[in-house]
A and B are shown apart, each in its own frame.
Chain A
Amino acid sequence: MRHNRDVRRIALQALDAAARRGVDYADVRMVESRARTVSVRNGRAALASSEESLGVGIRVLAGGCWGFAATDELSAAGIEAAAALAVQIAHAAQAAKNAEVVLADEDRYEAVWVSPCLEDPFATAVEENLAQLLAADAEMRRVRGVTLTEASMVFERRHQVFASTPGSIIEQTCTATGAGIAASSYQGDEIQKRSYPNSFGGQYQLRGYELVKELRLVEHAARVAEEAVALHSADPCPDGVFDLILDGSQLALQIHESIGHPSELDRALGAEANYAGLSFLSPGDLGRLRYASEIVNVVCDARLQHGPGLGTFAFDDEGVPAQRTDLIRNGVFCGFMTSRETAAAAGLGRSNGTMRAESWARIPLIRMTNVSLLAGEQTLEEVFAGDAIYMETNRSWSIDDRRLQFQFGCEIAWEIRDGRRVRMLKNPIYSGRTIEFWNSCIAIAGEEHWVLWGVPNCGKGQPEQVIGTGHGASPARFRGVRVGAAYADRAG
C-alpha cells in the first residue's frame, strides 16, 4: 500500500479543489484497494491473480443537487478536472429538481481505524494458498462420480481516507478474506453440486488468513464430494406444505433478500424504482407492522462488537459512525437503514450510518451492513423436533421487486422425522411471502449455533455496485411453508 500520508494529502487536495468551487457541502474518498484471487479446478491452478487500484471520488452538494466525479488521474490537473466536473454535474441537475437535498446533522470526526486481522493474508505465500486448495481439491476428486471440483481463496484490503468540508477526516483499513470448496457431479440428466461452507465461493469475513485455517477445507472435502454424488440417487424433494428448517447460511440469504433489502430507506422512498426495485415498506409501517413472529429480532449492526462481518466498519462512507439499529424488535418492524439525506427526508433524525460505495469510482448508497437475525432460545434439538424438511446451502434465489414473494432453492435437503434425518432429498425449493413467512418462524437456535455469514455479491444502483454484506443467523424453523413448486408439473 502507498504511504498513508500520500493518500491523506491527495484526499485533502481533492476536498480543497471541490470546496474552492463554492459548494454547499463536499466529501471525498481516496481509496487504495488490493486483492488476490487464487483458485483451483479439477486438480490444477485455474486462477492466480492480483489487482490494485487507487483513485478518488469527489461528491458535492451545490444548489440543492448532488454531483459526483471520480478519477484515477491523481495529478493536480486530474483532481481539479474531477472537482470541476462534479460541480458541473450538480449544476446540470437543476434542470430536473423538485426538492432541495437536505442532510441530517452529523458531528465531525477525526479517526483512524484498522479492522482486526490476526494473520495478514497478503503476507502468505501463493504456494501455501495453492497447496491448501489443491489438497482439498484432491480429496474431492478421490470420490468416484465427481466431475468438477473447485476451491478458491480471495483476499481484499481497502485503505480509505474520507474527508468532508465540515472537517471530518477518517482513515480506515479493512481486510477481508473468503474461501470455500465445491464439488459437482454430472450423471444421467442432472448436475448436482455441493459446497462448503457455503455457495458463492464459501465464507467471507472481515478477517485475515486465520479464517482460511479455521474453515479446515481439507477435512470437509470428502463429505462435500460424496454428497454431490449421492444426490443423484436421492428422492426428489416432495411438493407440498411442510415445516421447514433452514441452516444458517441459507437463512442469511433469506434475511438479506426479504428483510435487508426492503428495510433500505432509499428503496422505500423510490430511489431504486428503475433497477433494484422498491420496497413494500413505508415509513408509516414503523412501529406498526407485525413483520414477524414475536421471537424474531433483527438488527443492522456495523459495529465490531457484532462480529467481523463484510458490513463491519468504524464509519460509513458519509463519515457517520457505525451503529446498531433494531429493524425488527419482537416481530414488529421498527427501523430502516438510512443515509443523511433519507433520514432527513423521512424525518427520522440522525442517519444510522449505512452508506457504502463499491470503490473510489462510485457514490455511496444505503447498503446493508450486518443485518442479522439474533440468536433464539431454542436448542438445536428443539428446532429439529418432530417432522420437517431441512434445507442447506443456497442454490438459487429470486424475489419480486417489492420484496414480497420469494423462491429459494438449496443444494440439499433431508426429511426430518421425530427430530432425525431419515432420507436425503434432491432439488429442494421453497417459496413464500415475506410477511407470512417471517410470522411463521416458530424456533430459532441459540447463540452457540449463530454464525456471521458473508454475502459477497449484493448488487444495487446505477451504475451497478456490487458489495459484500454480513448476516448473522442460526438455524431456524418455519411452520407451513410451500415446498417444491418449481419442479411440480414439469411437462414440456
Chain B
Amino acid sequence: MSESELLPRKRCREVFEASLRAAQPAGVSDVEVTLWTSASALTRFAANRIHQSVAERHHAVSVRVVTEQRTARVTTNRLDERSLRKAVEEAIAIARAQGPDPDLPPLAEPAPIPALDRYHAATARTTPTERARGVAAAIAVAAAAGQSAAGAFSTEEHAEAIVNSRGVFAYYRGTLARFSVTVMAGDSSGWAKQSSIAVSDLDPQALTRRACVKAARGRNPRQLPPGRYAVILEPAAVLDLTGQLFGDFSATALEERRSFLTDRLGQKLFGANITIWDDVYHPLQSGPPFDGEGVPRRRLTLIEQGVPVQVARGRRAALREGTEPTGHGLPLPAEVGEAPVNIVFQGGHTSLEQMIASCRRGILVTRLWYIREVDPYEKIMTGLTRDGTFLIEEGEVACAVRDFRFNESIIGMLNRVAALSPAARASGEEVFDMVVPAMMVHDFRFTELAGR
C-alpha cells in the first residue's frame, strides 16, 4: 500500500522517535504510538436543497507507555515536539498512578501484515462541486416525481499507523464514499443508501429513484394489527438488527460473563443456514488489516451452520487464556477488550424478488430504526420499521402498511430464516457496514404500531 499525503510514513517514524526520546529520561522504553489522520467532507440536503455542507481535517497522535506492568494512553492533535513530550510525560504519570496489572501484555511484536489496497484516489480528490452536482442530480429525480429528498453525500480519505518500540510498524490508508437518501411523498417515505471505497461506484440518481418508488408505493398505508408475521428484511434491515450481536463475540465479554454466548459457545444456537465470518480481507469489506495494537487480523468463523464457534481475542485476553490473539483487539487500555468489525454472512441463492414471489402473506421491511437491546442474554431487541414497509400477498407487494415496533430475539429470529439472498455490502445507520443478505424470516414479532 502507498502512503497517504496526509500521513507520510517518515512523519510517523519521526513522531514515534520523538515520543520514545521523551520517555527515556523517566526510564520508560516500551512506547506505542498510534497516529490517525483524515480529510472528510459531507454535503447534506433536505427539502430538495443543500442545507448543510461541511469539511474537516484531523490529526491525532496517541501515545501509550508500558512500565512495570502498568499502562496508560494520552491522545493529542498537536504533533510538535513539546506537545508530544507533554503527552508522554502525562502517560507515564498516569501509568504509575495505577497498581500493577498481572494480565497486561507487553507491547506487540512485529508480524507480517497482508497488504490491502483500499485507497481510491478519485474518492480522496472529490470536490465540493462534484458532491453538490451529485446531490443536485438526486434532487432533480425526486422533484420530477413531485417528491422531496433529504440525504447526505460524503467522501473521505483516512490513514492510520501504529508504531511501537518492539518494532511494529503497521500502516493503512483508505477511502470511503457514502450516499444516503430519504424521499418523502406526503404520508410516506422511501430510503436507499450505498457505500464504497470508490465514489465512482455510487449512483445518486439510481439510489434516489429506488427511494422514490418506495415513497410512491408507500402512500395511504393500511393499518395491520401487531402480531407475528413472515418478514422479508432487506439487507440494511438485516445489517442494523443482526449487527447488534457481534460485540458479544469477544473473549473479554465471555470472561466478564456479559456476553449472550456465556455457557453457549459450541452449542447449536441458530439455524443450520446461518454461517458468519469476520473477514477484513473480503473484497467488499473496508478497514485496516490490523488491530488496535498493530496485530494482523485473522479471518474468524464466528458462527458455523448455526453453532457459535470462535470469538475475537485481543492480546490481553489471549495472554490470560494462553492462546493466540486473533487481531481484533481494541487499542489498550480497553474496557471491552476486542470486537469483530468486518462481518461477512454466508449468503443464499434466493433473490429478493424470488422471496417476495414465494411469500403468501408477509411484510417487506426496507430498514429498521432506533434498535436497542431489551434483554442482553436472550438478545431481545426493540426498534421500528421505517421508510418503506409493505404487505406482501400471494407473491406480490399488495400495499403499504403502517410502521410497526418489534420486540424480537435475534437468537430466535436466526432460527427461523427461511431464505437468504446472496450477500452484498450494505450500509445502515445503527452499526458499521457489513456484507449481508436479505432474509425471509418466519414469525417475526411486531408488538405495537408506530406513528400516530
Determine whether the beta carbon of A130 is less than 8 Å from that of B48: no
Determine whether the beta carbon of A273 is less than 8 Å from that of B182: yes
The reply to whether the CB of B373 lies closer than 8 angstroms to some CB of chain A is yes
Q: Identify the closest chain A residue to B332 (Cβ).
A: A47
User: Which A residues, 43 to 86, have Cβ-Cβ distances below 8 Å to chain B?
Assistant: 44-55, 57, 65-73, 82, 85-86
Distance between Cα atoms of A407 and B384 in the complex (Å): 10
Interface string of A344-366 (1 = CB under 8 A from B): 00000000000000000111000
Determine whether the beta carbon of B451 is less than 8 Å from that of A400: yes
The reply to whether the CB of B220 lies closer than 8 angstroms to some CB of chain A is no
Known: A361-B58, A401-B386, A486-B374. Contact between A51 and B76, CB under 8 A? yes
The reply to whether the CB of A39 lies closer than 8 angstroms to some CB of chain B is yes
Determine whether the beta carbon of A67 is less than 8 Å from that of B101: no
Chain A residues contacting B53 (CB-CB under 8 Å) are 65-68, 89-90, 92-93
The reply to whether the CB of B285 lies closer than 8 angstroms to some CB of chain A is no
B interface residues, how many (CB within 8 angstroms): 96
Distance between Cα atoms of A147 and B375 in the complex (Å): 17
The reply to whether the CB of A427 lies closer than 8 angstroms to some CB of chain B is yes
Determine whether the beta carbon of A51 is less than 8 Å from that of B54: no
The reply to whether the CB of A295 lies closer than 8 angstroms to some CB of chain B is no
User: Which B residues, 254 to 305, have Cβ-Cβ distances below 8 Å to chain A?
Assistant: 256-258, 262
Overall SS of chain B's interface = strand
Chain A residues contacting B136 (CB-CB under 8 Å) are 95-96
Determine whether the beta carbon of B132 is less than 8 Å from that of A96: yes
A62 to chain B, nearest CB (A): 11
Determine whether the beta carbon of B257 is less than 8 Å from that of A274: no
The reply to whether the CB of A233 lies closer than 8 angstroms to some CB of chain B is no
Determine whether the beta carbon of B50 is less than 8 Å from that of A49: no
Known: A95-B133, A96-B136. Contact between A273 and B448, CB under 8 A? no
Of B75, B131, B139, B386, which is within 8 A of A49 by CB? B75
Determine whether the beta carbon of A69 is less than 8 Å from that of B135: no
Overall SS of chain A's interface = mixed
B45 to chain A, nearest CB (A): 6
Determine whether the beta carbon of B49 is less than 8 Å from that of A41: no
The reply to whether the CB of B174 lies closer than 8 angstroms to some CB of chain A is no
Determine whether the beta carbon of B256 is less than 8 Å from that of A148: yes
The reply to whether the CB of B246 lies closer than 8 angstroms to some CB of chain A is no
Chain B residues contacting A96 (CB-CB under 8 Å) are 45, 48-50, 132, 135-136, 139
A423 to chain B, nearest CB (A): 20
User: Which A residues, 83 to 135, have Cβ-Cβ distances below 8 Å to chain B?
Assistant: 85-86, 88-99, 125-127, 130
Selecting from B8-16, B27-35, B401-409, the interface stretch reads B401-409
Determine whether the beta carbon of B75 is less than 8 Å from that of A51: yes
The reply to whether the CB of B128 lies closer than 8 angstroms to some CB of chain A is yes
The reply to whether the CB of A184 lies closer than 8 angstroms to some CB of chain B is yes
Q: Identify the closest chain A residue to B138 (Cβ).
A: A96
Q: Identify the closest chain A residue to B99 (Cβ).
A: A45
Determine whether the beta carbon of A48 is less than 8 Å from that of B377: no
Known: A69-B54, A96-B139, A405-B450. Contact between A48 and B378, CB under 8 A? no
Interface string of B40-56 (1 = CB under 8 A from A): 11111111111111111
A interface bracket (residues with beta carbon within 8 Å of B)? 35 or more
Determine whether the beta carbon of B52 is less than 8 Å from that of A66: yes
Determine whether the beta carbon of A427 is less than 8 Å from that of B375: yes
Q: Identify the closest chain B residue to A486 (Cβ).
A: B407
Chain A residues contacting B101 (CB-CB under 8 Å) are 44-45
Determine whether the beta carbon of A400 is less than 8 Å from that of B450: yes
The reply to whether the CB of B152 lies closer than 8 angstroms to some CB of chain A is yes
Distance between Cα atoms of A486 and B381 in the complex (Å): 9
User: Which A residues, 9 to 61, have Cβ-Cβ distances below 8 Å to chain B?
Assistant: 39, 41-42, 44-55, 57
Determine whether the beta carbon of B48 is less than 8 Å from that of A98: yes
User: Which B residues, 56 to 113, have Cβ-Cβ distances below 8 Å to chain A?
Assistant: 56-60, 72-78, 90-91, 93-95, 97-99, 101, 103
Chain A residues contacting B98 (CB-CB under 8 Å) are 45, 48, 126, 130
Distance between Cα atoms of A487 and B382 in the complex (Å): 11
Q: Identify the closest chain B residue to A97 (Cβ).
A: B49
Chain B residues contacting A186 (CB-CB under 8 Å) are 257-258, 262, 377
Determine whether the beta carbon of B46 is less than 8 Å from that of A48: no
Selecting from B18-26, B116-124, B364-372, B432-440, the interface stretch reads B364-372
Determine whether the beta carbon of B50 is less than 8 Å from that of A398: no
Distance between Cα atoms of A96 and B189 in the complex (Å): 21
Q: Identify the closest chain B residue to A94 (Cβ).
A: B132
Determine whether the beta carbon of A492 is less than 8 Å from that of B416: yes
B190 to chain A, nearest CB (A): 11
Of B76, B180, B377, B412, which is within 8 A of A274 by CB? B180
The reply to whether the CB of B396 lies closer than 8 angstroms to some CB of chain A is no
Distance between Cα atoms of A92 and B50 in the complex (Å): 9
Of A44, A270, A361, A404, which is within 8 A of B46 by CB? A270
A236 to chain B, nearest CB (A): 11
Q: Identify the closest chain A residue to B39 (Cβ).
A: A71
Q: What residues of chain B have their CB less than 8 Å away from a CB belonging to chain A?
A: 40-60, 72-78, 90-91, 93-95, 97-99, 101, 103, 127-129, 131-133, 135-136, 139, 148, 150-152, 154, 180-182, 184, 189, 191, 256-258, 262, 333-335, 369-378, 380, 382-384, 386, 403, 405, 407, 409, 412, 415-416, 429, 443, 445, 447-452
CB<8 Å pairs between A and B, sample of 10: A52-B75, A53-B60, A93-B43, A98-B49, A184-B256, A190-B378, A395-B374, A431-B405, A485-B447, A486-B382
A-B contacts besides A42-B256, A93-B43, 7 pairs, CB < 8 Å: A89-B54, A94-B132, A125-B97, A148-B256, A404-B451, A409-B382, A487-B380
The 6 closest A-B pairs by CB, nearest first: A273-B150, A92-B128, A126-B97, A186-B257, A486-B407, A95-B132
